[in-house]
Chain A
Amino acid sequence: MDAPTKKLKVATTSLAGCFGCHMSFLDIDERLFALLDLVEFDRSPITDIKHCGPCDIGIVEGGLCNAENVHVLREFRANCRILIAIGACAVNGGLPAQRNSLSLPAILEEIYHAQHGLTHGSIPDDPELPLPLDKVHPLHEVVKVDYFIPGCPPSGDAIWKVLTDLLAGREPELGHGLIHYD
């Protein structure tokens, strides 16, 4: 008889992203219930666990746009045996990296002083607000990333394929139709 298998621990987070990849994760629809037989969620937007503990798989959506993103990413890397960058922003910066060609003072000026409909402009400067990075960076520039799932967002089917491959001990492979970049 096989000993009862221990559930694998999965943590997920969204950094400089839009949560669309998490929505695609939920687009596995009712397969979510089958997944719950095999895994247990650690830190994730769907649980109230605020810090990532030791995990088997970490899934990170979004790139790095501020110091806090970097901190969370390092916490994930330190705790997760396998780290997956999911979606365009995590893989190459994505749409938020469009700001990389602009100067930050120009953006600040635009949004907090010149913006249409603003009565009295001022720039938020409270220490509670994390320091924004000058450029938006993809994850692999800061930590080692084990797998990349491209797409904006990748489909629920693609995410399902990668997870089920990993859970079965196979090297994940996305065939035709599951790899796309839009």
Chain B
Amino acid sequence: MIENLETANNPEKLRRVAIDPISRVEGHGKVTILLDEQNKVHQVRLHIVEFRGFEKFIQGRPYWEVPVMVQRLCGICPVSHHLAASKAMDIIVGARHLTPTAEKLRRLMHYGQILQSHALHFFHLSSPDLLFGFDSDVSQRNIVGVAAKYPEVAKKGVLLRKFGQEIIRHTAGKRVHGTGSVPGGVNKSLTVAERDALLKDIYQIVAWSREAVAMVKDLHNQNPGLYNSFGTFRANMMSIVGNEGGLDLYHGKLRGRDENGKLLFDGVDYQGYSDLIAEAVKPWSYMKFPYLKSLGEKQGWYRVGPLARVQNCDFIPTPLAEIERREFVDYCGGTPMHAPLGYHWTRMIEMLFAAEMIKDLLHDDDLLGSDLMVTGPRELEGVGVIEAPRGTLIHHYRVDEDDLVTMCNLIVSTTHNNQAMNEAVRHVAKRYLNGRELTEGLLNHIEVAVRAYDPCLSCATHALGKMPLEVELLDAEGMLLDRMTRGSDESTSGCRIT
């Protein structure tokens, strides 16, 4: 851990450079760098700068609203929140085992989401760095530049995402913020016409997903010096794995490994996640810092997401993705890969896995069934966990006998990666920025490291900060609309209107 770069000894004497906002990521974040007169780096921090407070205002709402409300944390991965909340509420309504139709439709929705999110992240957001270079011309370094120089790559990216979004539309009702999953099951199955429309395209989607894996693999192999070392540091990893140890992004048990790949824990029922994980707070970010209790705050942080999942499972249960996983493991020579740019490779392996899962599911007539809901003995507390595109997503609720939510705790995927992303930007700053005149291209190196984790910074924002400041909000005519002061002397330690 590069602890000495987290907090400088004498920040007031240093020059501040900010990357604000971090672009080509989802959500609101910035990186600040403190430098001395010789441009030596003394402090680097990734800040999450927004608050929304979902965990609080969800309280008092009826439980059946929750899967529809909480997905509005995130417009890129709403299905993950929709399903994690539904899984928690399944427990509340006593539906521990869904009907085959409901379970398979939810899985289809989820794999559609994995496909569209991974395609979006790779093609629309990250590919410009990898295809043009980290310090290439800023006017070209975006999806528009990719469309001009590599039109076929851009077109396939757009159509892969489109297919994933169509899966979501047919299972959830609309492409963003749908309503298909409900506590105890789903509210709609597929019609034959919908199923056939998706079947028509799926073979092409599987083929393009294979090409995407090949493309990332080539990039990695062409420049192993960069790809294996850029922002690299060793870390623990965590994910859920399926019952037999295979990759499963919808349901399973928690498994963790240390930096050498040795099992730390396995087969842990996620209903007891809070025995495993605790969270710490740092004053300079609204995003919390989770860690494994058994290892403590200093040693217990870990990575989640594709790089963790593909290395954490024993196998991938679809044939083409399993071949790719084996090739990846062989490339790493039997030890875990810790390189952030390895996320891109493993992310594309997962996209291929999602495409194959969708293909198999579309051939299953249970998707057309009419047995959608189950109920059972009512319970008061439930935890729902799913592997979202960016990593393990934990939803935990208590619901009282009047059906109202009384407690909500969310640990979102990106929050698990908080320490890891901070480590990555510090390593990159030390290696590439130290002592140099900072240019736009050099600063983009920092963003490349953040981007590899595909952070969803808006998911990760729950809370408020305090600063001794005063702000006036004026309307378009200059009239005072709102005025806040805040000071540490306030017993409330929050904002108040004066």
Contacts of A30 in B (CB 8 A): 155, 158-159, 162
User: Quick check: B24 and A141 within 8 Å, CB to CB?
Assistant: no
Minimum C-beta distance from A172 to chain B (A) = 21
Task: Scan B43-65; emit 1 where CB is below 8 A from any A CB, else 0.
Answer: 00101011111011100000000
Asked if A50 lies at the interface with its beta carbon under 8 angstroms from chain B, I say yes
**Complex Cα gap A40–B74 (Å):** 26
Say yes or no: A66-B158 contact (C-beta < 8 A), given A24-B176, A41-B144, A137-B473.
no
Instruction: List B residues at the A interface (Cβ < 8 Å).
Output: 19-21, 23-28, 30, 32, 45, 47, 49-53, 55-57, 69, 72-76, 78, 120, 124-125, 138, 141-144, 147, 151, 154-155, 158-159, 161-162, 165, 174-177, 274, 277-286, 288, 297, 396, 407, 409, 411, 440, 444, 447, 458, 462-467, 469, 471, 473-476, 481-482, 484, 486, 488, 492-497
Instruction: List A residues at the B interface (Cβ < 8 Å).
Output: 14, 16-24, 26-27, 29-30, 32-33, 36, 40-41, 45-50, 64-68, 70, 94-96, 98-99, 101-108, 110-112, 115-135, 137, 140-144, 152-153, 155-156, 182
Say yes or no: A48-B24 contact (C-beta < 8 A), given A115-B55, A124-B283, A153-B176.
yes
**Complex Cα gap A108–B143 (Å):** 39
**Complex Cα gap A118–B411 (Å):** 11
Q: Which of A116, A129, A156 sits near B467, CB closer than 8 Å?
A: A129
Q: Which of B124, B176, B409, B492 sits near A20, CB closer than 8 Å?
A: B176
User: Quick check: A131 and B56 within 8 Å, CB to CB?
Assistant: no
User: Quick check: A20 and B23 within 8 Å, CB to CB?
Assistant: no
User: Quick check: A19 and B74 within 8 Å, CB to CB?
Assistant: yes
Say yes or no: A142-B475 contact (C-beta < 8 A), given A30-B155, A105-B492.
yes
3 closest Cβ pairs, A-B complex: A20-B75, A105-B492, A126-B284
Q: Which of A20, A64, A65, A105 sits near B52, CB closer than 8 Å?
A: A65
Contacts of B75 in A (CB 8 A): 17-24, 153
**Complex Cα gap A156–B277 (Å):** 40
Contacts of A49 in B (CB 8 A): 23, 138
Minimum C-beta distance from A70 to chain B (A) = 6
Report which residue of B165, B282, B440 has the largest number of chain A beta carbons within 10 angstroms of its beta carbon: B165
Minimum C-beta distance from A15 to chain B (A) = 8
Minimum C-beta distance from A91 to chain B (A) = 14
User: Quick check: B473 and A70 within 8 Å, CB to CB?
Assistant: yes
